A and B are shown apart, each in its own frame.
Chain A
Amino acid sequence: MASGVDTLAALYGGLLTALSPGNLLACLAGAFLGQLVGIVPGIGPVGGIALLLPMIYGQEPVAALIMLAGIYYGAMYGGTVTSVLMKIPGENSSVLTALEGYEMARAGRAGAALGIAAFGSFIAGNVGMLLLALFIVPLSAVAVGFGSVEYAALMCFALSAVSVLAAEAAVKGLISAVMGLALATVGLDSGTGALRFTFGIPELVEGIDFVVVAIGLFALPELCAIVERRGAGALLERHGYGRLRDLWPSVADWRRSAWPIARGSLIGFATGVLPGAGATIAAFLSYGAEKRLSRRPEAFGRGAIEGVAGPESANNGAVAGSLVPMLAFGIPGSATTAILLTGFTIVGIQPGPRLFVDHGPVAWALIASMLVGNLILLLLNVPLIGLSVQLLRLPANVMVATVVMVAAVGVFSLRTSLFDLWVLLLSGVVGYVMHKVRMPAAPLLLSLVLAPLFERNLRRSLELGGAPIFLERPVALALLALSLAIWLWPVVARLLARRAR
């Protein structure tokens, strides 16, 4: 196991790699593009990274991964801008920023809201990066000892967590997850060589492309929601935003935000590590904590800066946390990290226990690039705010048409397949219906990614010793018990609440 000094030395080496001109440029481009796609309503981080995935073809692995990571946190921050200025959260984790930040904007303090969100994100991102660097190597060492049985149980846990935590009703999360698993069984079965559910369609032999489904599920329903509100005119309402250029929060703002940022960073990282919990739950936990701890809880909902600082820090801390299961175990914990995993596959790197052994310099450069990326993002914010405002003043019709065309051409560019475009449309329709019945799309996407690995490990485990083998391995048994506990928790909580009443 690496000591603290080894970790620091590896991180320093990674930083030097990340600071090389090519990688720095990749990071800058990623953060810039990420922020732009994050600002455009209807794309968000998942759709944004999926759309920009073709950009990494032909690049060096380090530069490609640094660019993807830059897009990730750039898109996360981009959602903040739309939340504060338009009350349209770019993603679920920005809902609370939309609540408090928009109220601040209405009071002429949009600059302070955006500024504290930017500084909070910067601090939380770097705290998360340091925690990630500290924990990742010991965790990878634990993961090396995992066999098929433990992996199958871990994936069962991840899917259970994402199904229950991502949905307001566990059964909807479960159905979403099984639909993803079912979609993943389409195509050639790598274990037996049999063709499953292809119905004689040659394009289905290779299976359904996960990125295409991601864009359809996440981008199209959001665009449909904008079209439903047709009549709203330009997306950005015109009212006083105060001094937008003045992004430096005042001393009083800092005093009120320092602890929320510190707490949000830690809550975010810890929550991000859990599969399925991610940035949204982190933001809500942080908001709840700040409201409880505040001396003026009545100010929340009316533009409290703590309500921006805490959740924004938490959702950025969660970005670093969500990289932990992906880098250590090769298992993405969120829809966004699932797309990042595809990016790793494109450049020929398999995240997981062997990552730091086989591709140590690349992995450390990626982690260190978060520091550089966060700094770039902070520096970009000032000049980009003006551009963001102009972008948001684009009429909705032009923006919707552009995003639809970007989605279509982006999907086509993945495999130059016209069939994928029909899959995009179908995924969009399914996503729209899911949106209408409040069924989360993240479990579907995550299970679509995890299914092949889950089936392979499950099959191998059953060949090794049948179902009882899961009871013989303590780690697998513990993970299965945790999965069961996750499913039972909503029922138990309901019973406890009823008894308390």
Chain B
Amino acid sequence: MGASVLDRPVAVALTAAGLVYFWLASRLLVSDGPGSALFPMAVGAVWVGGSVRYLLGAWLRPAGDRGAWAELGREVRQATVYLLLPLACYLALLPWLGYPAATWGCAAWMIRTLSERPRHPLVPMAQGALVAGVLYLVFGGLLGVALPRAALAG
């Protein structure tokens, strides 16, 4: 089994999630009867069983050294700061700013922050506008998707 320094915390989280799921499924037994609860309860039981097995396996292997944790931390930070966080901000702003402005802003921001060398701010802004515009044409124009409008504009 390929070991990862994340195995232990992930196994703990999965076991906890499996237990919560099983508990919620068992509550269905009371509220909706066995018809609705049986399948989720069986799934929950297998989930908990599998996670405990994974947890045991992860605990029996040597834990990751400090270097491996530092490397993982760097990678996760990069992915979070440059991709996941901008995407979360985009989703939060989309209903307020509407599709064109939010997409333009997010694309330009990502292009700028991920850039290898400093560029004039107008370059990522132009590239972001191009990305947003082409997608608007394809999805809004060709496919007729009703893209979100800005709530701020009323």
Contact = CB atoms under 8 A, between A and B. Distances in A.
Interface of A: 54-55, 57, 168-169, 171-172, 174-175, 178-179, 181-182, 185, 189, 191-192, 194, 196-197, 220, 223-225, 227-228, 230-231, 233, 395-398, 400-402, 404-406, 408-410, 412-413, 416, 418, 421-422, 425, 428-429, 432-433, 436-438, 455, 458-459
Q: Which 5 A-B pairs have the closest CB atoms?
A: A397-B114, A224-B79, A194-B32, A401-B110, A413-B145
B36 A189 contact: yes
B113 to A, nearest CB: 8
Contact of A169 (B1, B14, B51): B1
6 contacts: A178-B43, A224-B83, A406-B135, A408-B87, A416-B146, A436-B76
B135 A182 contact: no
A436 B83 contact: no
Given A171-B57, A174-B46, A196-B40, A405 B132 contact: yes
A192 B35 contact: yes
Interface in B1-56: 1-2, 4, 6-7, 10, 14, 18, 21, 24-25, 28, 31-33, 35-36, 38-40, 43-44, 46-47, 50-51, 53-54
A421 B91 contact: yes
A424 B114 CA distance: 21
Given A189-B36, A398-B127, A436-B72, A230 B47 contact: no
A404 B87 contact: yes
Interface of B: 1-2, 4, 6-7, 10, 14, 18, 21, 24-25, 28, 31-33, 35-36, 38-40, 43-44, 46-47, 50-51, 53-54, 57, 72, 75-76, 78-79, 82-84, 86-88, 90-91, 94-95, 99, 103, 106-107, 110-116, 127-128, 131-132, 135, 139, 143, 145-148
B43 to A, nearest CB: 5
A210 to B, nearest CB: 17
Contact of B90 (A175, A228, A408): A408
Given A191-B35, A401-B128, 17 more contacts: A168-B1, A172-B54, A182-B21, A185-B25, A189-B35, A192-B32, A194-B28, A230-B114, A398-B131, A401-B110, A404-B83, A404-B107, A405-B107, A410-B139, A413-B143, A436-B6, A438-B4
B91 A422 contact: yes
A402 B127 CA distance: 10
Given A182-B21, A421-B94, A438-B4, A175 B111 contact: no
A224 B50 CA distance: 27
A396 B21 CA distance: 40
A187 to B, nearest CB: 12
Contacts of A413: 139, 143, 145
A237 B33 CA distance: 61
Contact of A196 (B28, B95, B116, B127): B28
Nearest to B91: A421
Contacts of A179: 47
B116 A397 contact: yes
A172 B51 CA distance: 9
B84 A224 contact: yes
Given A405-B132, A409-B135, A433 B47 contact: no
A175 B44 CA distance: 10
B36 A233 contact: no
B18 to A, nearest CB: 8
A395 B35 contact: no
A402 B145 contact: no
Contacts of A225: 79
B40 A418 contact: no
Chain A, interface SS category: helix
A252 B67 CA distance: 49
Contact of B91 (A191, A418, A429): A418
Contact of A182 (B44, B76, B83, B84): B44
B50 A178 contact: yes
Given A413-B139, A437-B10, A185 B107 contact: no
A175 B51 contact: yes
Contacts of A397: 110-116
A205 to B, nearest CB: 14
Interface centre among A172, A178, A194, A225 (most CB of B within 10 A): A178
Given A224-B79, A227-B78, A227-B114, A409 B6 contact: no
A395 B119 CA distance: 13
Max chain B C-beta neighbours (<10 A), residue from A405, A410, A432: A405
Q: Among the interface residues B6, B39, B47, which one has the most CB atoms of the partner chain A within 10 A? A: B39
A405 B106 contact: yes
B40 A57 contact: no
Nearest to A458: B39
A443 to B, nearest CB: 11
Given A224-B79, A397-B111, A397-B115, A418 B148 contact: yes
Given A227-B83, A405-B132, A185 B116 contact: no
A458 to B, nearest CB: 7
Nearest to A407: B87
A412 B78 contact: no
A185 B145 contact: no
A459 B38 CA distance: 9
A221 to B, nearest CB: 9
B99 to A, nearest CB: 8
B145 A412 contact: yes
A400 B145 CA distance: 23
B116 A395 contact: yes
A400 B110 contact: yes
B58 to A, nearest CB: 9
A171 B56 CA distance: 11
Given A400-B114, A409-B103, A437 B6 contact: yes
